[in-house]
Amino acid sequence: MEKKKKFDFFDRPENIRRLWIFLYVFCGLTLIPDFFTHREAHFGFDGFFGFYALLGFVSCVALILFSKLVGLVLKVKENYYGK
């Protein structure tokens, strides 16, 4: 056990902090090109700055909350059908 160094990169709090920073920075980076390029709007409402970022964020929040809501009704114990 002692000889072989355990690989636990993703368990260490300092690394988790770094991953969070990386995630925020990456999200920020994807927004930068929107300052310089003009994306063609397909339907008139989808051409503004950061449209896809907003779409991704809002739709995922909505999906999670909606699934939580229906989960109140649909989720049952594993032995619901017996056995």
Partner 1 sequence: MASNFPPAALLILGALLVPLFTGKAKSYYVILLPAAAFFVVFQLAPGSSWHTHFFGFDLTFLRVDKLSKVFGYIFTLNAFAAFIYAFYLKDNTQHMAALFYIGSSLGVVFAGDLVSLYFFWEVMAVASTFLILGRKTEKAQAAGMRYIMVHVFGGLCLLAGIVLTISETGSIAFSAMTERNFGTYLILIGFLVNAAAPPFSAWLPDAYPEATVTGGVILSAYTTKTAVYTLVRGFPGWEILIWIGCIMTIYGIIYALLENDARRILAYSIINQVGFMITGVGIGTMMSLNGTVAHAFCHIIYKALLWMSAGSVLYMTGKSKCTDLGGLYKTMPWTLIFGAVGAASISAFPATSGFTSKSLIIDGAIHEHLAWVWLVLEIASAGVFLHAGIKFPYFVFFAKDKGLRPGETNKSMLLAMAFMSFLCLFLGVFPQPLYNVLPFPVHYSAYSFTHVISQLQLLMFSALVFFLFLPLLKRTETISIDTDWFYRKGGRLVYQAMDLSLNGINNYSDRIFVKGVAGFLARFARDGMARLALLPFVTYWYLKGIRFKRLEIKKSSLYYNLVRGVIPAGLGAAMAALFLVIIFLLS
CA distances to 24, 46, 47, 78 from 38, in Å: 23, 12, 8, 51
2: which 2 tokens?
């002692």
| Residue 13: CB minimum distance to partner 1, A | 14
Residues in touch with partner 1 (CB under 8 A): 6-8, 10-11, 20, 23-24, 26-27, 30-31, 33-34, 37, 39-40, 42-43, 50-57, 59-68, 70-71, 73-78, 80-81, 83
| Residue 41: CB minimum distance to partner 1, A | 11
Gap between the Cα atoms of 33 and 21, Å rounded: 20
